[in-house]
Amino acid sequence: MDNRSPTLGRPDADDPALAQLRTVLTARPRPPRPGPLTTSLVFGWRTLLRIKHLPEQMIDVTAFPIMLTLMFTFLFGGAIAGSTTEYVQFLQPGILVQTIVMITMTTGSSLNSDVVSGVFDRFRSLSIWQPAVLVGALIGDAVRYLLGAVIVLVLSLILGFRPEGGFLGVLAGVALVLIFSFSLGWLWTMLGLLLRTPQSVTSLSMFVMLPLTFASNIFVDPKTMPGWLESVVGCNPITHLTAAVRAAMQGTLTSGQTGVVLLWCAGLVGVFAPLTMRLYRTKH
């Protein structure tokens, strides 16, 4: 910068730049405080802006779904059903669940590195509905999950997936996955605030996620399992979610199936959102 511009660099406290600063400070009346929804959406917008500036964040929702879909379809499709096209009808909704639920884990590790930056001190010192900071992050992430879901679906259609539930059925299935992911996100935000490093968040998340997704009905029908395992799998929320998504895409979704999934969502939010907020308030 050059020294001759009319700047704040001049020592005289009465110079025009400073008079201008004083004017700007008081120029506008303070607007009314926005509500929780608006505030959350603003933080959602922040997440999207960050994606715009750090596009590498999109790798996990683009490359990862493509890899998983191809791998599971050909690996399991060939081995378990003998033919890919038949098994695809059973497997694709499961792969959608598996993929999206796996990428929700990134929410925790990215929050973990974000929350130690000074900007979170600023957010915490604002007079806003504080949970919006995290709700917004999860809303923003839901946009990433949606992109992942679209990729899985398009690829599945190419591989021969023909959902009988039609467009509306697929829409309902995706909506269930996104709502569940948003709710599960609170578990990851809690871990993101609890643990010290993004690496430890990722490894602990994996430790939780692998049994949850594999001890479920994603790849095989639980009826083929031994009785004890079948009952374990029956308690797994991922099993309920997958069953509901499968039904939605086949056009046979019942309100009972939807209800169970939504109950699980409410439970996850009810337990982990307050814990997350507690950690968020006391994190330093």
Give the DSSP letter of residue 164. Answer: T
16-24, 79-87, 181-189, 264-272 -> range binding other proteins (CB under 8 A): 16-24
Cβ atoms within 10 Å of 284's Cβ, excluding its own: 7
Number of residues that bind other proteins (CB under 8 A): 46
CB 189 within 8 A of CB 276: yes
CB 183 within 8 A of CB 104: no
If binding is defined by CB under 8 A, does position 31 make contact with other proteins? yes
Among 37, 67, 119, 229, binds other proteins (CB under 8 A): 119
DSSP element (H, E) containing 158: helix 132-158
Among 17, 70, 75, 229, binds other proteins (CB under 8 A): 17
Among 75, 80, 126, 229, binds other proteins (CB under 8 A): 126
Q: Where are the alpha helices (DSSP H) in 195-252?
A: 198-214, 227-235, 237-250
If binding is defined by CB under 8 A, does position 22 make contact with other proteins? yes
Complex with other proteins: residue 84 or 130, whichever CB lies closer? 130
If binding is defined by CB under 8 A, does position 59 make contact with other proteins? no
If binding is defined by CB under 8 A, does position 55 make contact with other proteins? no
If binding is defined by CB under 8 A, does position 37 make contact with other proteins? no
CB 129 within 8 A of CB 38: no
Complex with other proteins: residue 162 or 283, whichever CB lies closer? 283
| Residue for token pair 């946009």 | 143
Among 4, 56, 122, 224, binds other proteins (CB under 8 A): 122
* C-alpha closest to that of 233 among 210, 215, 213, 207: 215
If binding is defined by CB under 8 A, does position 10 make contact with other proteins? yes
DSSP notation for 30-51: PPPPP-HHHHHHHHHHHHHHHH
- Report helix angle 166-194 to 105-115, nearest 10: 40
CA angle 181, 186, 188 (to 5 degrees): 90
Contacts with other proteins, 64-103, as mask; x by CB under 8 A:
----------------------------------------
How far apart are CB 54 and other proteins at their closest, in Å? 6
How far apart are CB 40 and other proteins at their closest, in Å? 11
If binding is defined by CB under 8 A, does position 118 make contact with other proteins? yes
Q: Find the binding residues for other proteins in span 239-268 (CB under 8 A).
A: none
Give the DSSP letter of residue 132. Answer: H
18-26, 103-111, 230-238, 243-251 -> range binding other proteins (CB under 8 A): 18-26
CB 130 within 8 A of CB 280: yes
Q: What is the CA radius of gyration of the chain?
A: 24
Among 18, 63, 67, 80, binds other proteins (CB under 8 A): 18
Q: How many CA atoms lie within 13 A of 225 on its CB side?
A: 17
Amino acid (one-letter) located at 4: R
Q: Which positions lie near other proteins, rule CB under 8 A?
A: 1, 3, 5, 7-11, 13, 15, 17-18, 20-22, 24-28, 30-34, 38-39, 42, 45-46, 49-50, 53-54, 117-119, 121-122, 124-128, 282, 284
